[in-house]
Amino acid sequence: MRTEIRVTTNQAPPLVGHNVVTADRALAEAVLRHGSPEVLEDLVALGAEAGSAEAREHGQLANEHSPRLTPYDRYGNRIDEVVFHPSWHWLMKRAVGHGLGAAPWEQQDAGAEHAHLRRAAGFMAWSHTEPGHGCPISMTYAAVPALRADDAIAKEWTPLLASTTYDPGVRNPAEKLGALAGMGMTEKQGGSDVRANITQARPTATDGTYTLHGHKWFTSAPMNDVFLVLAQTDGGVTCFVVPRVLADGTRNQLDVVRLKDKLGNRSNASSELEMDGTVAHRLGDEGRGVRTIIEMVAATRLDCVLGSTGLMRRAVSEASWHAAHRSAFGSTLAEKPLMQNVLADLAVESEAATALALRLATAVDRLHDPHEAALRRIALPLAKFWVCKRTPAMVGEALECLGGNGYVEESVMPLLYREAPLNSVWEGSGNVNALDVLRALGREPEVLDAWITEVGRARGGDARLDRAIDDVLAMLGSLMGDPAQLEVGARRLAGRMAAVLQGSLLVRFGPPEVADVFCASRLGSSYDGTYGALAGGDLRAIVERTTPVV
C-alpha cells in the first residue's frame, strides 16, 4: 500500500542560503561609503555563514534550550555555573572568531582605519542568526575603553578580550586564550539611578584592592571572565573590575542568585548577583565611577542601535521574502499596492536606521576628530532613543505581513518581536536618553554645533529636510527659553533631531527613491507613524531593493 505524498503549495520557502551582507544593499553601500571595498570583502564570509541554514538552526536551538544555573556541585561546593546548550557555544565561537568582540580596539591601535565600522556592520549582520548571544559579545567590546582608565588593568585584560579565540569556562584567565566581559551597574532599589546604589566597597590594601558587599539586579552572562561594576566608597560611586577567578586560581566570591525569566530571547543568561567579600580592583578614582564607566555605556549604546537595526533588517527581510513568494487573489502579495506600501515603509525605516548606525560607527573610528567626537556625544543618545523606540512597532508590522505564519515560533518572527523592546530598556531607557540629550546640549555647546554641521551638509538637497532642520532649531530655542517645558518636551525634541539626522544622511547618500519617501513621511507634518500610509513614491523599487535574493 502506497502512502500518498501531499505537496504543500503557496508557502514561502525558508529564507536560508543567502548572504546577509551582500543582500543588504543599504549596509553594503554604507560600508563602501565610510570604509572601502576591502572592508566589505572582508565581511562576505561572515554574511554567508550568518544566512546559512546551519546558523539559523543553531539560533533556534539556543532559544529552545535555555541556560541552566548549577549553584552547587555534587559535593555541596558552591560553584555558580551556568550550563549553555551547544548551539550557544557554536554561535559564540563564530561571533568571537569573526572579531565582533573587543578586537577592533587593538586593530585601531595598530593603525587599522575602519576597524569599528567593519565590526559594526558585522555585528548587525551576525545578529540575524540569534540576538541573545550578542549581549556578552557587546559587553566584551564595550569594556575596553573603560578599562583604559588604568594602564595596568588595561594591559592585563585587553589582549584576552580582543582575542578571536572563544575559550569558555570558569578558569584562571592566565590559562585562557580569550576572555569575555560583563557589566553590573543597576541595583534593585535604584535602576537607572546608579548613584542610589548601596553596594559597599571596602579597601583591603593600598594597591587598589577592595572587597564588595551587596548585590546587582541585572548582570548578563554570569559565566564571563571579568565584570565592571559600580559600588560605593567613602568618596562616592566608584568603578571596579571584578574577575570571576582570582590570580591564584581560586574562584571569586560571586553568588548567582537566580537567572531572570525575562521577555525576549531565551538563549542568554541574565542573572542576579550577590557579593559578600568579592575581590575587586578599583578602576579610576574613588567617586568617579560614573565618569569611568561612561565609555563602556557609550559603546553599549552603540551596540543597542546596531542590534535594533539588525532586528529591523531581519524582520523586513522575512516580510519581503514572504510577500514575494506568497500568492493571494491572483498575484503575489508583493504585487499588491497596499502590501507594497507597507513593505516600502518598513524598508525605509530599516535603511534610515542602517545609515545612522554605521555613521556612528565611523565616528568611533575617528575618536580624535573634534567634530566626530562631538557628533558621537549627541548622536548616540539620539539614535539610542529613536531607533530602539521605533523597533517594536516596526517588527510587529513585519510580523503581520506573514499573517498567521508569522505568529508561530518556527518563523522566528515571535522571537524578533519579543526581543524588539530590549534595546530601548537597556543602557538607559527612552527617558534617560532623551534627558541625556538635554544634558549634552546644556553642558557642551559643541555638540549642537556638530549636529547643525552634520545635517547642514544636506542643505539644499530636499526642501522638506531644510524646513525640518529649521523647525528643530526653532523648537530647541523655544524649549531652552522655557525651562518649565524643557524636560516635558525632551522626547519630542530627541525624536525630531534623530529623524532629521537620518533624513540628512539619506538625502546625501541614499537612493533618491528612499530619501524622497523618508522626507515626505518622517519629516512631513501629516505623518502619524502608521506603517503603510505612504502618500506616494517609487514603492516597487524600494521593496525590490530590500527583498533578499537566494
Tell me which fold the domain 291-545 belongs to.
Butyryl-CoA Dehydrogenase, subunit A; domain 3 (1.20.140)
**CB within 8 A of 184, min separation 6: which ones?**
216, 218, 219, 227, 228, 229, 230, 242, 273
Residues of the chain with CATH 1.20.140.10: 291-545
Chain Cα centroid distance, residue 524: 28
- Which amino acid is residue 482, in one-letter code? D
**Nearest in space to 432 (alpha carbons), one of 349, 508, 491, 360:** 491
- Strand ranges for 293-448 from DSSP E: 327-328, 331-332
CA end-to-end span of the chain, whole Å?
Answer: 39
User: Cell numbers at residue 44, please?
Assistant: 562576505
Tell me the mean pLDDT per 10 residues along the chain, length 550: 73 95 98 98 98 98 97 93 97 98 97 97 98 97 96 97 97 96 89 86 88 93 94 96 95 95 95 96 95 91 97 98 96 96 98 98 95 97 98 98 96 97 92 95 95 98 97 94 89 97 98 97 83 94 94
390, 392, 397, 399 alpha-carbon torsion, rounded to 10°: 140
The pLDDT value given to residue 3: 65
Tell me the C-alpha distance between 415 and 130, whole Å. Answer: 9
The pLDDT value given to residue 26: 98
The pLDDT value given to residue 484: 84
- Which amino acid is residue 22, in one-letter code? T
The pLDDT value given to residue 1: 55
Q: What are phi and psi of 198, to 5 degrees?
A: -115, -5
The pLDDT value given to residue 527: 74
Q: The pTM is what?
A: 0.96
Class of domain 25-287: mainly beta
DSSP collapsed to 3 states, 343-381: HHHHHHHHHHHHHHHHHHHHHHCCCCCHHHHHHHHHHHH
- Which amino acid is residue 297, in one-letter code? V
If 0-12 CB within 10 Å is exposed, 13-18 middle and 19+ buried, where does residue 511 land? Answer: middle
Residues of the chain with CATH 2.40.110.20: 25-287
Tell me the C-alpha distance between 465 and 244, whole Å. Answer: 51
